[in-house]
A and B are shown apart, each in its own frame.
Chain A
Amino acid sequence: MSSCHSHAASRQRLSGAAEPSNGAEAPDRPRYIALVGNPNAGKTTVFNALTGMRQKVANYPGVTIEKKEGRCRTSSGRQVILLDLPGTYSLESRSPDEDIVRDVLLGLQEETPRPDMVVVIVDSSNLERNLYLVTQVAELGLPVIIALNMLDLAESYGREVNVNLLHQRLGMPVVPLVARKGRGVDKLRQYLDDYPRDVEWRIPLPAAIQTEKESLAAGLSQSLGVDLHLADALALRMLSNEELAKKVERRWGHNWQPRVAAARRRLADEGVALSSDEPTTRYHWITDLCEDVMSVPSHEVKTLTERVDRVLTHRFFGPLIFLALMAFVFQSIYTWAQLPMALVESGVTHLGRFVSAVLPEGPLASLLVDGVIAGVGAVVVFLPQILFLFLFLAVLDDSGYLARAAFIMDKLMSSVGLHGRSFIPLMSSFACAIPGIMATRTIDNRRDRLLTILLAPLMSCSARLPVYTLMIAAFIPNTRVWGFFRLPGLALLSMYLLGILMATAVGWLFRQTLFPGKPAPFLMELPPYRSPALRNVAITMWEQGWQFLSRAGTIILSISIVLWFLASYPHYRPKPGESPAAVAGAQIRHSYAGRLGRLIEPVVQPLGFDWKIGIGLVGSFAAREVLISTLSTVYNVGNADESSVTLREALRRERRPDGRPVYTPLVAVCLMVYFVLAFQCVSTLAVVKRETNSWGWPLFMMGYLTTLAYVVTFALYQVGKAMGWG
């Protein structure tokens, strides 16, 4: 992709792309066609149907928004590149996603050429609102095709759209489509070969706005050398959004801000409010148009969606069904995914054994088995959970249920400063934060999404359970509390509650400090229920799995190899007659990881931990449950799991230099609390890096969680020691 940053180059490209074209001549490079449309209009389905798997996902520079491009063959066999822009209701942007749509269409977006043509995907069952965006896109001076999608749905509502009349009135090709069933897709492919003229009509805005717009447009056209249609559209958007004037200045130079500010003042003096006049004027025009092109049934048709909603968002049954569904999803990632995960793990073990059997013992075998193969295993083991979760998410989203789930949960989540859509990602994080954080993609609002990502690691994931189990079994007495509760169960429950409580408090704090201001308005469409399109579900799963492997996986693998190195070097020379467990123990104590454990001992001592636990903490950066195997190696127990009695005994026997036991119930609780709160799993780091497209947020997350864990555990241990709790 071209990345001409220089002023002159962008200006030239801008004027080049904006030249009116007359069907005949086509550009030499593949034609660049943008897909735009309202959320839920079926844009992704159309994109998938046209491009299949020939998709490329990248990020727009500097933001977390995905840039999806795909190759597609037109009917004549020519190749074109399709750009799937984020869904939006309007070109008057209010979020980074919507900025992208506006900027790409105006030719303002860096590293993205201005499209040669635009396909607007229109939900014909929701014609009026979808036409709003059409009227704005029509004024950009670009050839536009209307893909009139979901005609079957409109029919089921008894609404009939006169396609020919719509085509005549809009002056644009209108392609009837039922993208989910693949109907009309070939027809659309034919139209991608055409190059319709851009339309001439404009919706007349109030005279005062028209005057200001034209005078600004004349200036823009003259000094930037763009054609008048584009200048007109640019002028209107600059008048309604001062930020855009700044952006145009930065990109193309000239001093636009004072001119725009003066024009806005003049409009305000005349009592004209562009922000309400533009939508009102457009909707009046649309209402008139729709009266002509759409026939509405004389009496209300009770739609299937309305009947289903009577149950699914019912006051009592709605939440019950939602909870049952969530239990099902949770069960699948918490329990069912364990089977394929165990297969991955045993596969990795077998491969490791095979390689150690074939290769001579030495550093190479150790690197391959304990570094590379174990590292690849650490990556692949997440795949089953990710695929399971995204299978359900894609089905729920595609069917329209996800919006209902947010509708049901919004009140509860907004009371802790979150969004209805934050619920499923956070719930999934109880199984594992990796798929949970990836699931935050269903949250449109950036602030809500970031906040949800930051809080996700506080949900106790399944990797922490072995740690809790070991500590509780070894040190929490099995006594009754209030007659029927037992202390171990209560201890386990309080670890989960502690995470939730902390998330609530931290969420509140971040709302006040990091993301100040009023929460974003919650305006969410409840789309009609549809049977999910298999292709969409498959593509979502494939994309999520592949992106996790290729982007987060490489980071996880490299860190695993670093951790292997830290635990294996410098090499320990076994003395004659030492048992394998003793050799392994001596090796890790002798290694860099062991030295790191000693090095951090003064830091972790106030939390009640000694240097051997310190080694365990270093190891748990690979994954939290690694604490168990690290501790069993350190204590010369060999390979043990959390239910191992020998390991439990070894923990109880362990003494400090002065003869006091290392582990007391207080230390065990402190270790558990530390594991609830601390940032340990590098895979989370890698996935946050990938989802936020920056190192800033993952490092911030690491910093805040570590601080939080340290401060809370410190306070707990010191207070507990002072109170004589052990």
Chain B
Amino acid sequence: MPLTTLDRCCPGVEGNITHLSGEPSLVRRLMELGFVPGTRVFVVKLAPLGDPLQVVVRGYHLSLRRLEAQSITLEVNEVTNE
């Protein structure tokens, strides 16, 4: 399955986190919010102006900018077309 960063995922994409990269304090905060390797992430939608994204992680909805989403690398599982 292909690896990609979260900021490049379209709505409907679902994947498992393989690793996080980038500034340590950001990585730590993302992990504390539940984005640890192995966790499933689902992209719900983009904001009307294309940024930020809305994702579901560990059963809750979070919005993050593409800039921060770049730190999260996923292995894409499936794409459900809305």
Contacts and interface: CB of A to CB of B under 8 A. Distances in A.
Best-surrounded residue of A89, A407, A410 (most CB of chain B within 10 A)? A407
Nearest to A136: B32
Interface in A277-330: 279-280, 283-284, 305-306, 309, 313-316, 318-319
Interface string B41-82: 000110111111010001111111101100000000000000
A521 B68 contact: yes
A356 B14 CA distance: 75
Interface stretch (A124-132, A221-229, A459-467): A124-132
Contacts of B63: 403, 407, 410, 522-526
A505 interface: no
A94 to B, nearest CB: 6
Given A94-B29, A279-B31, A524-B62, A410 B37 contact: no
Contact of B65 (A132, A276, A284, A410): A410
Nearest to A522: B65
B60 A525 contact: yes
B24 interface: yes
Q: Is the interface of B mostly helix, strand, loop or mixed?
A: mixed
A407 B58 contact: no
B20 to A, nearest CB: 7
Nearest to B58: A128
A279 B28 contact: yes
Given A283-B36, A521-B68, A523-B62, A410 B28 contact: no
B20 A523 contact: no
Nearest to A403: B63
Identify which of A127, A521, A524 gathers the most chain B CB atoms within 10 Å of its CB.
A521
Describe A's contact surface by its main secondary structure: helix
Interface residues of B, number: 35
Contacts of B47: 313, 407-408, 410-411
Given A408-B47, A525-B62, A526-B63, A276 B28 contact: yes
Contacts of A346: none
B33 A94 contact: no
Contacts of A283: 31, 34, 36, 39
A112 interface: no
A527 B63 CA distance: 10
Contacts of B50: 411
B59 A523 contact: no
A93 B52 CA distance: 24
Contacts of B10: none
Nearest to B37: A280
Nearest to A316: B48
Interface in A99-155: 125-129, 132
A316 B69 CA distance: 24
A518 B26 CA distance: 11
Contact of A313 (B31, B37, B48, B62): B48
A558 interface: no
A313 B32 contact: no
Interface residues of A, number: 43
A275 interface: yes
A412 interface: yes
A313 B54 contact: yes
A313 B45 contact: yes
Contacts of A90: 29, 32
Contacts of A280: 31, 36-37
Interface centre among B51, B61, B64 (most CB of A within 10 A): B61
A279 B36 contact: yes
Instruction: Give the interface centre of A157, A283, A412, A525 by most chain B CB atoms within 10 Å.
Output: A283
A512 B45 CA distance: 32
B78 to A, nearest CB: 13
A331 interface: no
B28 A92 contact: yes
B32 A521 contact: no
Contacts of A408: 47-49
A624 interface: no
Nearest to B64: A523
A579 interface: no
Which of B23, B39, B47, B50 lies at the interface centre, i.e. has the most chain A CB atoms within 10 A of its CB? B47
B59 A126 contact: yes
B31 A523 contact: no
A415 to B, nearest CB: 9
Which of B26, B31, B32 gathers most chain A CB within 10 Å? B32
Given A89-B32, A279-B32, A411-B51, A521 B62 contact: no
A414 interface: yes
B48 A275 contact: no
25 contacts: A94-B29, A126-B59, A129-B33, A132-B32, A159-B59, A275-B24, A279-B36, A284-B36, A305-B61, A306-B44, A313-B47, A318-B48, A319-B48, A411-B47, A411-B51, A414-B51, A521-B68, A522-B52, A522-B68, A523-B29, A523-B33, A523-B62, A523-B63, A526-B54, A526-B63
Given A275-B28, A414-B51, 9 more contacts: A92-B28, A94-B25, A313-B45, A408-B49, A410-B47, A414-B65, A521-B64, A524-B63, A524-B64
Interface of A: 89-90, 92, 94, 125-129, 132, 157, 159, 273, 275-276, 279-280, 283-284, 305-306, 309, 313-316, 318-319, 403, 407-408, 410-412, 414, 518, 521-527
The 10 closest A-B pairs by CB, nearest first: A279-B31, A411-B49, A526-B61, A90-B32, A128-B58, A275-B28, A126-B60, A283-B36, A411-B51, A522-B65
